[in-house]
Chain A
C-alpha cells in the first residue's frame, strides 16, 4: 500500500487547467520532490494534498484512506510553508504546542513533547522567543518542529529553503534530509531548485504546465531525461541537433551530421524511431577536452571560442562544425589552459550521451 496515492487527480481554475490528470504513488518513508518552474502546478498539487484546494477530479489516498473530502484539520498532514507562517502573536513554545493543544492533550504531555521536539531541532532554550526574534534558519526549525510534534502521517514542504541565504540553504538541505531519514516520514517536497531536488530526493517528479513529465530517481532524471525541457531545466546541458539512425540494446545511434555517428542512451519513459530528429544531451562535465593531436579518434573536433574562469571550473565554449557546446574542465594546474582559437578534440564515453525527443 502506498503512503500517498493520487488517482486521476486534476485541478481546473475556471477555464484554465492548473494540474492535468495525475496518478502518483508515493511509498512509505519516501522523499518525493515535485520540481518545476513557477506556475507548473506543483504547489497546486501540494495544496490539494494538504486539503486547501479541492481537486476537480480524482481521489487522494493516504495510507489507503480516501482523504479527498476531508478538511485540512482532519488529514493528519503536516506542512511547512515557504515563509514558515510562524504565528507572530505566540512564542516558540506556544507555536509548537498549537497542534497538541488542538488535540486536547494535557499540559504535562504537551510540555514534554514540545521540549523533546525542540531538542530534536536544536532549539532548546528558545521557548520564550517570538517570530521577530528568530533568524531565518531558526524560523525554519520552529516551523518544522511545530509540524513534527503532532507526528503527522505525511510531511509537506513547500519551497522551505527559498527564503534563506545560500550558505544556510546548503546547511538546511542536509539537516532536513537527516531529520526526514531518522523519522522515516513520507515527505513531499516542492521546489523550483533542481539542486535541492537532486540532493535530497529519493524520487523527483518534474512538472511543467500542469503535467508530470517524468518521475524517477535523481540519477534517472539527471542522466536520462525524457525530454528537452527536463534536460534543460535540470543542470547545464548541451543539446546537439541529431537524428536517430538505428536502435540498439542500450539505446540508439544518432547522426550529428557530416557523417559523425555516436551512441546515445534513451530514457525508459520514451521511445525513438530511426530517422527521428532528436537532441543529443551532453552534460558539460561529461565531455573531455584536449588540444587536437594525432592518435585516439575524437567524437568531434572543433575550436575554442572562449573561456570563462569559475574558480573550481573553467568553462569553455567550443565550436564544432555546426554545433556549439559548453565544456567544463576542472581547474587543475596540470590541465593546460586553452586560448580562443585553439583546435581541440572532444571525447565522451558511450554512456554520456542521451537522445531526447
Chain B
C-alpha cells in the first residue's frame, strides 16, 4: 500500500472503465425503461420489460438454448483445448510453433470469416450440417477452444515437469501421474479456460449468424432478429439477464480460481 498512481494514469484508468462499463449501464437502464421503445435515457424505471422477457417464449427458449449450447461447447472445448495444450507443451518437433499459431488462429480471425467458411464448407460438402444444431455446436467449439489452449498453455508453461518425473520414478504410470499430479496442478488454468469458453460461446454472434438453425436461435441472434423489426426494450431486458449470467459465472470462477494468479505466473 501507500503506492500512489500518477494523476494522468488515474484519469486514463477512469476513462477506460467508463468506456467499458457505460454501454453495459445503458443496456441495463434501457431494459428497465417504463416506455414503449428502446430509448436512452429511459422514460422512467419499471420492470415491465423484464417481465415481458420472462414471459416471452421466444427469448426464454433462446436464453436457455444459448445456456445449453455454451455448456456443451465448454465441455468439448475444455477437453480438446487441454489435450491440445498438453501436446503443444510436451512435444518438440519442427512446425510446433506453426501448429500453435494455427490452433490459436480462431481468436484472431474475424468471427464472420469463421462463420462464413464453415457455412460454405457445410453447404459445399453437403454433409448435412448446414443450419443445424450440430453444425452450430461445431462452430462454437472451434471458436472457443483456443481460449482453453491459451489458459491451459499458460498454466503448463509454468508447470515444473520434474513433478511428473518424480511421480513416475516413485512408481506411478503415465496415466496415474497425469491424474494425480499434472491435472491438480494445472486445474486453475483449465477452469479459467472453460469459463472463457462458456462466456465466448454464450456471447458469440457472427458464427451463430451463419450457422444457427431457424428453430433454435441462440440469444444474441434472437435479440438481433427482434431488434431488426421492432425497437423492443425486451431485447435490452434479455441483455440484462445475459450480463447477470456472465457476471455470475465470472464471480463464481473467481471464487474457485484465482485468474489473476494464473496470469501472473506466466
CB <8 Å contact, A73 and B165: no
CB <8 Å contact, B166 and A79: yes
Chain B positions 155-185 with a Cβ under 8 Å from a chain A Cβ = 160, 162-163, 165-174, 176, 181, 184-185
CB <8 Å contact, A73 and B162: no
Residues in chain A near residue B173, CB distance under 8 A: 71, 73
Residues in chain B near residue A78, CB distance under 8 A: 169-170
CB <8 Å contact, B160 and A83: yes
Nearest residue, chain B, Cβ from A75: B169
CB <8 Å contact, B185 and A88: yes
Chain B positions 125-164 with a Cβ under 8 Å from a chain A Cβ = 160, 162-163
Instruction: Report the bound CA distance from A85 to B167 in whole Å.
Output: 9
Known contacts A85-B160, A88-B185, A102-B176; A150 and B170 CB within 8 A of each other: yes
CB <8 Å contact, A87 and B171: no
Residues in chain A near residue B172, CB distance under 8 A: 73, 98, 102
Residues in chain A near residue B184, CB distance under 8 A: 89
A183 to chain B, nearest CB (A): 17
Partner of A87, one of B163, B168, B176: B163
Nearest residue, chain B, Cβ from A71: B168
Residues in chain A near residue B174, CB distance under 8 A: 71
CB <8 Å contact, A52 and B171: no
Chain A positions 56-110 with a Cβ under 8 Å from a chain B Cβ = 71-73, 75, 77-79, 81-83, 85, 87-89, 98-99, 102-103
CB <8 Å contact, B185 and A79: no
CB <8 Å contact, B160 and A51: no
Known contacts A99-B170, A99-B171; A79 and B181 CB within 8 A of each other: no
Partner of A73, one of B160, B163, B171, B181: B171
Nearest residue, chain A, Cβ from B181: A87
Q: How big is chain A's contact interface, by range?
A: 20 to 34
CB <8 Å contact, B176 and A79: no
CB <8 Å contact, A85 and B162: yes
Instruction: Report the bound CA distance from A261 to B166 in whole Å.
Output: 56
CB <8 Å contact, A79 and B169: yes
Residues in chain B near residue A79, CB distance under 8 A: 165-166, 169
B95 to chain A, nearest CB (A): 15
Q: Is A234 an interface residue (CB 8 A)?
A: no
Instruction: Report the bound CA distance from A167 to B172 in whole Å.
Output: 35
Q: Is A146 an interface residue (CB 8 A)?
A: yes
Nearest residue, chain A, Cβ from B168: A72
Chain B positions 96-123 with a Cβ under 8 Å from a chain A Cβ = none
Known contacts A83-B160, A85-B162, A87-B163; A51 and B181 CB within 8 A of each other: no
Instruction: Report the bound CA distance from A337 to B163 in whole Å.
Output: 55
Residues in chain B near residue A98, CB distance under 8 A: 167, 170, 172
Instruction: Report the bound CA distance from A78 to B169 in whole Å.
Output: 6
Residues in chain A near residue B169, CB distance under 8 A: 50-51, 72-73, 75, 77-79, 147
Residues in chain A near residue B166, CB distance under 8 A: 79, 81, 85, 87, 146
CB <8 Å contact, A87 and B165: no
Residues in chain B near residue A77, CB distance under 8 A: 169
CB <8 Å contact, A85 and B165: yes
Known contacts A87-B181, A89-B185; A102 and B165 CB within 8 A of each other: no
CB <8 Å contact, B171 and A50: no
CB <8 Å contact, B167 and A87: yes
CB <8 Å contact, B185 and A50: no
CB <8 Å contact, B185 and A73: no
CB <8 Å contact, A85 and B171: no
- 10 interchain pairs (CB within 8 A)? A50-B169, A51-B168, A52-B168, A73-B173, A85-B165, A89-B184, A89-B185, A99-B170, A99-B171, A146-B170
**8 closest Cβ pairs, A-B complex:** A99-B170, A102-B171, A72-B168, A85-B162, A85-B166, A89-B184, A81-B162, A72-B169
Given contact pairs A85-B166, A87-B181, a sample of 5 additional A-B residue pairs in the complex whose CB atoms are under 8 Å apart = A71-B168, A71-B174, A73-B168, A83-B160, A98-B167
